[in-house]
Amino acid sequence: MNMTLLEELYEAIVDGDDDLAVELTRKGLDDGIQPITLIDDAMIPAMTEAGRRFETEEYFVPELLVAGRAIKAGLEILRPLLSAGDLHHAGRVVIGTVQGDLHDIGKNLVAVMFEGAGFDVIDMGTDVSPAEVVAAIEEHNPDLVALSALLTTTMLSMQAIIEAIDTAGLRDDVRVLVGGAPMNEERAKEFGADAYADNANAAVRTALELVAAA
Ligand code: B1M
CATH number at residue 27: 1.10.1240.10
Q: How far is the CA of 214 from the centre of ligand 1 (A)?
A: 31
Q: Are residues 95 and 190 in the same domain?
A: yes
Question: Of 83, 103, 118, which residue is a domain's last?
Answer: 83
Give the number of the atom of ligand 1 that is nearest the alpha carbon of residue 104.
Answer: 46
Amino acid 166: pLDDT? 98
Alpha-carbon gap, residue 158 to 15, rounded angstroms: 33
- Neighbouring CB atoms inside 10 A of 59's CB total 20
For all residues of the chain together, what is the average pLDDT?
92
pLDDT for residue 50 is more than 90 = no
Alpha-carbon gap, residue 89 to 54, rounded angstroms: 40
Alpha-carbon gap, residue 14 to 24, rounded angstroms: 14
pLDDT tens digits along 94-122: 999 999 999 998 998 888 778 767 788 99
* CA separation, residue 167 to residues 17, 38, 130, 138 (Å): 46, 42, 11, 13
pLDDT for residue 203 is more than 50 = yes
H or E element in which residue 120 lies: strand 119-128
Label residue 83 by pLDDT band (50, 70, 90): low
146 lines ligand 1 (CB under 6 A): yes
CA quadruple 49, 55, 56, 58: dihedral positive or negative? positive
Alpha-carbon gap, residue 87 to 83, rounded angstroms: 8
CATH number at residue 104: 3.40.50.280
Measuring from atom 66 of ligand 1, which residue has the nearest CA? Answer: 106
Mean pLDDT is lowest, of 114-118, 132-136, 163-167, for 114-118
Give the number of the atom of ligand 1 that is nearest the alpha carbon of residue 107.
Answer: 84
Give the number of the atom of ligand 1 that is nearest the alpha carbon of residue 152.
Answer: 18
pLDDT for residue 89 is more than 80 = no
Who's near 189: CB < 8 A, 6+ residues apart? 196
- Neighbouring CB atoms inside 10 A of 88's CB total 7
pLDDT for residue 81 is more than 90 = no
Above pLDDT 90, what percent of the chain?
A: 68
Alpha-carbon gap, residue 189 to 200, rounded angstroms: 19
pTM value is: 0.85
Q: Are residues 203 and 104 in the same domain?
A: yes
- Give the closest residue to 158 by CA, choosing from 69, 97, 84: 97
60 lines ligand 1 (CB under 6 A): no
Question: Of 23, 50, 83, which residue is a domain's last?
Answer: 83
pLDDT for residue 5 is more than 90 = yes
Label residue 84 by pLDDT band (50, 70, 90): low
User: What is the per-residue DSSP string for 29-69?
Assistant: HHTT--HHHHIIIIIHHHHHHHHHHHHTTSS-HHHHHHHHH
Q: How far is the CA of 2 from the centre of ligand 1 (A)?
A: 32
61 lines ligand 1 (CB under 6 A): yes
Question: Of 51, 83, 115, which residue is a domain's last?
Answer: 83
pLDDT for residue 2 is more than 70 = no
Residue to mutate (ligand 1; options 64, 150, 156; most atoms within 8 A of CB): 150
- How many domains would you assign to the chain? 2
Amino acid 200: pLDDT? 84
Q: How far is the CA of 212 from the centre of ligand 1 (A)?
A: 30
Q: Whole domain around residue 11: which residue ranges?
A: 5-83
Q: Are residues 11 and 69 in the same domain?
A: yes
Count how many Cα atoms sit within 13 Å of the Cα of residue 41 in the half-sphere of its side chain.
Answer: 13
197 lines ligand 1 (CB under 6 A): yes
Amino acid 10: pLDDT? 97
Measuring from atom 20 of ligand 1, which residue has the nearest CA? Answer: 151
Amino acid 177: pLDDT? 98
Amino acid 1: pLDDT? 45
55 lines ligand 1 (CB under 6 A): yes
